[in-house]
Structure 1
Amino acid sequence: MTLLRVENLAKSFGGVQAVQGISFALAEGELLALIGPNGAGKTTTFNMAGGQLAPDAGRVLLGGRDITGLPPRAIWRLGVGRTFQIAQTLMSFTVLQNVQMALLSADGHAWRWWRRAGAHRPHHALALLAQVGMQEQAQRPCSELAYGDVKRVELAIALAHAPRLLLMDEPTAGMAPAERVQLMQLVRGIARERRMGVLFTEHSMDVVFGQADRVAVLVRGQLLAEGTPEAIRQDARVQAAYLGSSENNSCQRLPDKAEVPKTPLLAVEGLNAWYGAAHILHGVSLSVARGEVVALMGRNGAGKSTTLKSIAGLLARTEGRVDFMGQPLRGKPAHQIARAGLGYVPEDRRIFTDLTVLQNLETGRQPARAWPDGQATPHWTPERLFTLFPNLGEMPHRPGGRMSGGEQQMLSVARTLMGQPYLVLLDEPSEGVAPVIVEQMARAIRALKSQGVGILLCEQNLLLAEAVADRACVLEKGRIVHEAPMAQLAGDAQARRQYLGV
């Protein structure tokens, strides 16, 4: 039985036609993957189906009922669950409290302020968390979680009112490859058991081709192709517009350096870090030299992002030594660290949504720099960055809030480069971007490396890390447990399974 039907949906933002007359259907118990390049209109389609946006034309039918233009709360009450491209949780609440809030809403008790919310169906909330693998972290605030774990909590919240249709916008963002597959296998099992339809977007092709029943491909707001995963994989139009050459392993590993420069740009020794009373990092030591890419790898919650935030001066409590360009950094405020030439690209992008692409770039502008030996560092201008990221060059006057997640990711990297950094802390640059854009990101990292910029890279995408990194440091529970040349780690199947779940 058809659960969801989308008919001739269209939506424009000013002169930008985000969605242009697309139609598709989803059956009960079916998983339909909606894929396409960044800016193809996937999230806009989701927002129209979920009520966050009203379409300019067309309609959305749920079980034969026209729900076009209904507010999100009304659509949710009709049995439509939703997870978002950027996870939406109450960050100061614990994991358990987030799910309890969802259960309170599902039971119609959200506004009964005279009752203690903490006593509301805790066993049911824990059961939902157990389903998504988060029961052991039930008492931790969401602010202390790795981003992939926040996505799991968001899924539990979406399942709290037993939806018959689940909309999932990049549900496995921030997860290791094995975790991605496990989560979507779980969703698939729930969908079959409950006859719940699932419409999801995803840039991980392992997830799309391994878990979806059907795949629909959007390009520039139009439906390019629809069919079985195998048919879509073989479609030449899809390969050219979206898959690129990543399916053919074109991201080849760079040769190892014959000699790593002896004087590091960044030297970290015995770094410890806390979130409140939670001790996250335990004696982390690493270094990054001029023109070197070091991949900081590990499973969700291992402490990768915490390491970058600690170096960038964004955590209140740290111990240990962090030297940059021969000068100590620990204890300095984040803005002074940035002005010293250490760039930071956060996982959650944090662009200014009301500013245009050019205006966002200008917020990061700093004067040209030189290396200690007097040689000029790469000087980044908007024009040069548009050559590095052609997608941004096509939309210089578009507000950040009207860009896709992948486009925002590129803008976040470009804005950091406008600070003329000696070294860049790069947190999950391939997350939420199309395979063809991952290739662009690899070329950008190589370009930075060739010009002497050092890069400390947190990355779940092993192929990207293998293509650009010289060395790998693997974190596990806040400790460095393995160090090796990147090529050695990529070729060691036992180490990959043990440390990365790959």
Structure 2
Amino acid sequence: MSLLRVEGLRKSFGGVQAVQDVSLQLEAGELLALIGPNGAGKSTTFNMVGGQLRPDAGRVLLDGRDITGLAPRALARLGVGRTFQIAQTFASLTVRQNVQMALLAQARATWRGWRRADAFRPEAAQALLAQVGLQGQAERPASELAYGDVKRLELALALAGEPVLLLMDEPTAGMAPAERVALMELVQGLARARRMGVLFTEHSMDVVFGQADRVAVLVRGQLLAEGAPEAIRQDARVQQAYLGGGLQGGAAPVAAAGKEEPEVPASAGAPLLKVRDLQAWYGAAHILQGVSLEVAPGEVVALMGRNGAGKSTTLKAIAGLLARTAGEVEFMGAPIRGRPPHRIARAGLGYVPEERRIFTDLTVLENLEVGRQPPRAWPDGRALPVWTPERLLALFPNLGEMPHRPGGRMSGGEQQMLSVARTLMGQPCLVLLDEPSEGVAPVVVEQMAQAVAELKQQGLGILLSEQNLGFAQAVADRAYVLEKGRIVHAAPMVALAGDAQARRAWLGV
């Protein structure tokens, strides 16, 4: 008898058929990867198996028992663990306390108010943290973790419930390549040792084809293909619908059609963005320690480094989103450090956060209207090309298919595209992109690269934080590498991509 059987699941949201007659099975100790384009129905399928959604039709059986429609808490008692596409942790607690809360829940001891929670099974909490590589950060507040480390913490929380079935929604999002493989090798070992079935969805193909025992492909809510990883890799239908040209594994630079040189302003000799000795703090923690960089018009600059190196902090500090900073930040010749974020945005500096932060109750078009600003001109008086909803829906075809869909009913990758499009509605001269390829399908990564190329051709400057070396290599002109809040390496992107020693030393690839 299979550990998990999914039979004929269906789910609609209004007139949108998200999942249509999906059937799967999973054996104990097996890893099954569920892949597909953004909006294919993967998270919806997960939510039906995990109890967050009740299916319109079909059944879910765990070890022969019908668990269809049971609440997540009831499923957790039966041994169903879950991690989410957007990690769910207690930001105000330390890393160790997060795991202790999960252990308390597993022991049904959460309401014993007369005993200190942080005294509950500290050794067990530390052992779980060691399994996911966070033992050295046990006393650090979860709010200070890099996003990849937050994902590892969430895995430890799921393991605290001693699951027989583990559902993992994009478990390695935000992690460096070596970290991704190490984490999933750990999961694979745990699955074998505990006879725990693992159903996971993932956009990192090195993880899917390296660690999964079987792969199932969803497209538009239907099962397109299922089988061994190599058979799925060679399936022409899967390549066309999802895998694309393999940009994640490295590619030649992407060029915008019909253009050879960026349409830069007459003052192109001066940098759009100049950062000197930038310092930044989270509370008493000194994160950035003297970061200096420049971005010219029509230039794409990649900010790279391991989790926790300070990449996202650098972008937030430039955008005015941190309470305490020092140093110099000039945008288009004017100092902006210390100015409020909305004034920095109105000056023409756009920011796309890693967390997306779209308005879930508003439609795609309404989200775009929220970001609208008047047309803008370069300092020499030449007008910038104007971004309109029509132009953006053409740039991102996935959004063009759903202009009236609420943001809350979109996949994570679709929300990422919407976040970029909404920022462009602000008519920026320079865009800060935080992990633009994270959590999106390979074919969408290629679309994102084409969008970056088009922005470059219009003369916009782009500073992107990125861990996907293939994406960065395809779009970036230069790269800065951060380590512990300092720039430790700077080089043309092609030189960094070809320097194996530098990649191993600073990027872990």
> Is the shorter-chain TM-score for this pair beyond 0.5, marking a shared fold?
yes
Asked whether 1:396 is paired with 2:403, we answer yes
- Give distance in 2, aligned partners of 1:28 and 1:261: 60
Secondary structure class of the residue paired with 2:153? helix
- Give distance in 1, aligned partners of 2:329 and 2:341: 13
Q: Which string of whole-angstrom CA distances, capped at 9 and with x for unpartnered residues, describes residues 59-105 of structure 1?
A: 10000000001111000110000000000001111111110100000
Give the TM-score normalised by the residue count of structure 1: 0.98
Q: What residue in structure 1 maps to residue 357 of structure 2?
A: 350
* CA-CA distance at 1:410 after TM superposition: 0.2
Task: Give, as a single letter, the amino acid of the residue that structure 2 aligns with 1:253.
Answer: P
Q: What residue in structure 2 maps to residue 135 of structure 1?
A: 135
- Give distance in 2, aligned partners of 1:93 and 1:178: 28
Q: Which string of whole-angstrom CA distances, capped at 9 and with x for unpartnered residues, describes residues 421-475 of structure 1?
A: 0000000011110000000000000000000000001111111101110000000
Q: What residue in structure 2 maps to residue 295 of structure 1?
A: 302
1:439-454 correspondence to structure 2 within 5 Å: 439-454=446-461
Secondary structure class of the residue paired with 2:365? helix
In the alignment, is the contact (CA less than 8 A) between 2:169 and 2:201 conserved in 1? Answer: yes
* CA-CA distance at 1:251 after TM superposition: 3.6
Q: What residue in structure 2 maps to residue 33 of structure 1?
A: 33
**5+ residue gaps, structure 2:** none
Q: Which string of whole-angstrom CA distances, capped at 9 and with x for unpartnered residues, describes residues 41-63 of structure 1?
A: 00000000000000000010000
- Give distance in 2, aligned partners of 1:219 and 1:368: 38
* CA-CA distance at 1:249 after TM superposition: 6.3
Secondary structure class of the residue paired with 1:91? coil
Q: What residue in structure 2 maps to residue 497 of structure 1?
A: 504
- After superposing the two structures, state which structure 1 stretch, 250-259 or 270-279, moved more: 250-259
Secondary structure class of the residue paired with 1:264? coil
- Give distance in 2, aligned partners of 1:473 and 1:99: 35
- Give distance in 2, aligned partners of 1:170 and 1:274: 30
* CA-CA distance at 1:143 after TM superposition: 1.1
* CA-CA distance at 1:248 after TM superposition: 9.7
In the alignment, is the contact (CA less than 8 A) between 1:253 and 1:487 conserved in 2? Answer: no
Task: Give, as a single letter, the amino acid of the residue that structure 1 aligns with 2:6.
Answer: V
1:64-103 correspondence to structure 2 within 5 Å: 64-103=64-103
In the alignment, is the contact (CA less than 8 A) between 2:247 and 2:471 conserved in 1? Answer: no
Q: What residue in structure 2 maps to residue 361 of structure 1?
A: 368
Task: Output the aligned Cα RMSD.
Answer: 1.5
* CA-CA distance at 1:257 after TM superposition: 9.1
Percent identical: 78
- Give distance in 2, aligned partners of 1:47 and 1:317: 40
* CA-CA distance at 1:253 after TM superposition: 2.3
- Give distance in 2, aligned partners of 1:381 and 1:81: 43
Q: What residue in structure 2 maps to residue 218 of structure 1?
A: 218
481, 488, 492: which is aligned to 1:485? 492
Secondary structure class of the residue paired with 1:209? helix
In the alignment, is the contact (CA less than 8 A) between 1:302 and 1:475 conserved in 2? Answer: yes
Q: Which runs of 4+ in 1 moved over 3 A?
A: 247-251, 254-262
Q: Which string of whole-angstrom CA distances, capped at 9 and with x for unpartnered residues, describes residues 1-33 of structure 1?
A: 511000000000000000000001000000000
Q: What residue in structure 2 maps to residue 469 of structure 1?
A: 476
Report the CA distance shift for 1:184/1:351 in structure 2 as closer, same or farther (over 3 A): same
Q: What residue in structure 2 maps to residue 15 of structure 1?
A: 15
370, 379, 382: which is aligned to 1:375? 382
1:419-458 correspondence to structure 2 within 5 Å: 419-458=426-465
Report the CA distance shift for 1:326/1:414 in structure 2 as closer, same or farther (over 3 A): same
* CA-CA distance at 1:261 after TM superposition: 4.6
* CA-CA distance at 1:262 after TM superposition: 3.2
- Give distance in 2, aligned partners of 1:426 and 1:71: 37
Q: What residue in structure 2 maps to residue 327 of structure 1?
A: 334
1:231-380 correspondence to structure 2 within 5 Å: 231-246=231-246, 251-253=251-253, 261-380=268-387
In the alignment, is the contact (CA less than 8 A) between 2:250 and 2:469 conserved in 1? Answer: no
* CA-CA distance at 1:250 after TM superposition: 8.0
